[in-house]
Structure 1
Amino acid sequence: MEQNLESQINRSDYKILIVDDVVSNVLLLKILLTNEKFQVCTANCGNMCIEQAKAEKPDLILLDVMMPDISGFDTAVILKKDPATAGIPIIFLTALNNPSDLVHGFQVGANDFLTKPFNKEELVVRVMHQIALVAAKRMIEKQNEELRATISNRDKMYSVIAHDLRSPMASIRMVLNLVVSAVSRDQLGPELFDLLDKANRESEECHDLLDNLLKWTKSQTGRLTVVLQDLDLNDIIPGVVDIFEMIAMTKKIKLQYQGTPMKVRADNDMLKTIVRNFMSNAIKFSPEESTIDISLSKEGKFAKVSIRDHGVGIAPERLGDIFRKGETTYGTGGEEGSGLGLQLCADFSRKIGGDVMVESTLGEGSTFSVLIPLIS
């Protein structure tokens, strides 16, 4: 891979700073590297090297160890302490071959050594190796920058879509709910009533998706604040269940709630979002004239809210990834789901110090649960 990268490198794009107090050494290195098409700048002492490194911003420094003002090792220490020059790789030029000198060189920031006297082939190989690493780093930084821009634009798009559509969708949803509850099949006729009922259910699904999308975007971009407070589940869960009574009635599904006072520490909105998503899925994947059981229990230091349906169930191979892998699914009435809701539930449950779990038997139903820390 490195060889392929080296073949793609335009050497004239890279600058090398040569530092040596011996003029003949500088001239020799300059001729060799210029012939290899590199840009070259020079310095004849450690202090000049530091000035040139800041001014020229070279991609690589060939640094002599033995110099009259400050040594190459001390020069490297100064370069590595300055953020403006710390990232520039250094190849030390030295006649020293004592292992302790090599160790010290690497300790002060050497990327490689070139022992004097050196030959052209060895020089070019060692220089190209460092330049290839610089090129790879630049490529990664560019890709990361492009990726960050893409993610930022994506999150902005998600947020705008969800935020701008959520309000009008909520109005449509409310109007359809009122109309469906105010008219009967006999008044409108079977075909028109079925169309209205379908529009009502789809408006619910669309509103829930937009709500999940907005919260997911805020959560992933760090703009969602977790506000933990003391809550009684018996005050929270029945209200969420009541919201779904009308939706459940459209499929003749009976909701059964069993609960006792249970104090927890959680974010009220996040907890309601988790339970709403579990309730929505339970209705979506339950057949008509079935029941959904909502119950509260204790499990160690956690309260457990469970929503059990008697629907289609989940295949065993899907259970392990159900909260991580968003995929399109279809309910018993053809309702479409994106899988985003379950990912959001897992994210929110961990933000409040709990967790989510699922048990399911294919063809018999599923139980989705959320664990919430009890107030000790």
Structure 2
Amino acid sequence: MTTEILSKPKYILLVDDNPNNLKVLFEAIQGHGWKALMATNGESAIEQAEYAKPDLILLDVMMPGIDGFEACRRLKANSVTQDVPVIFMTALSDTTDKVKGLEIGAVDYITKPFQQEEVIARLKLHLNLSHLTHTLEQKVEERTAELSKSLEQLQKTQLQLIQSEKMSTLGQLVAGIGHEINNPLNSIVANTFHVQEYTSDMLEVLNLFQEKFAELDPSIAKLLQKIDLEFLNEDLPSLLKSMQHGVTRLEDISLSLRTFARSDISSKVEFQIHEGLNSTVMLLQHRLKSNQDHPEIEVVKDYGDLPPITCYPGQINQVFMNLIANAIDAFEELNRNRSYQEITADPNIITVKTRVNDEKNTVTICIKDNGIGLNPQLQDEIFEQTFTTKAVGKGTGLGLAISHQIVVEKHNGEIELYSIPGQSTEFIVTLPIS
């Protein structure tokens, strides 16, 4: 690029209403290999400068029509010509006029009657300065582009490290919890059937005993009255059934944890998307259920008939977790100024819809909430690493940036946002089947 700039002929625009001055300057410039353009007034100079884009302008101050000062102002106000160096030619000896010319953008001045040697020296100086400035700006642009690219790569690497660390930590946590839960859980599951069977036998013996012996020992009769055998007959089976439901719930949670945090860093495997969505909703159940501040957040599942896809299941589940958790965060913000009754009348709903596109060989997962929405000016920034709408202490805002990287870079998919302020936010994730 530098060689090209040096090899190009230099064009100098000469502006003077005196033909003799133009002739002298023209001859001097031609002798040094520069190309001359000429104008006899300010208006013509501005037109030629915009059209020809000269490397330098020699501009007379005193001319008919607009003078040199006004012509310089207009040249500097025009984005096309503002960077062209301007040297004033003036017969004025008043220092005020010379300062005025420099203040409005000129780089130098030459006093008439001028010496050719001085003119040539000034032209060489400012052409070299212009070339050096252009070269420096170009190097700054190139360096800035390199730094921007390095920064972008650093941010991507940082996201990958954060994501890997989160998945590794989560995997270790789940493995530890699973180990601690499974042993006692397996023992409870194995013994629950026997407890129910033994309890049923004991109650049957007690009832039969009570029927066969009408006259009971007073101490036994008193004890039976105290423990209310009739109530035990009714309540104990229900109690055992409730315990069985609790055990089943624990099994579901344990399975959801294992499904959510699958260790799949090394290679992609086949995975059923609905398993990931169900496990994510299960793990977020504590935030979805009703409490004293709000009724239950309803999750509507509109599942299509999806085939298994080839992916990193743990990472895809992380995307689902981020998107659904963000929807819950939006409801918490929305509900802050609403009463329990107002929320009940206009309930919080998260809709999860899945579809398959056979033509494109992709699956689509839509996660939509009827929360606060997002302002249009913020929607273009939503997946950037430095962007967050959360208050200090409420999160890093990296969830969506990581989700974008997982979907787009790790799986060659797409993630899009559609939001209507005050009404809804919808994330649409598209993933290739294989």
More strand by share: 1
Which TM-score tier does this pair reach, normalised by the shorter chain? 0.3 to 0.5
TM superposition score normalised by structure 2? 0.39
TM superposition score normalised by structure 1? 0.44
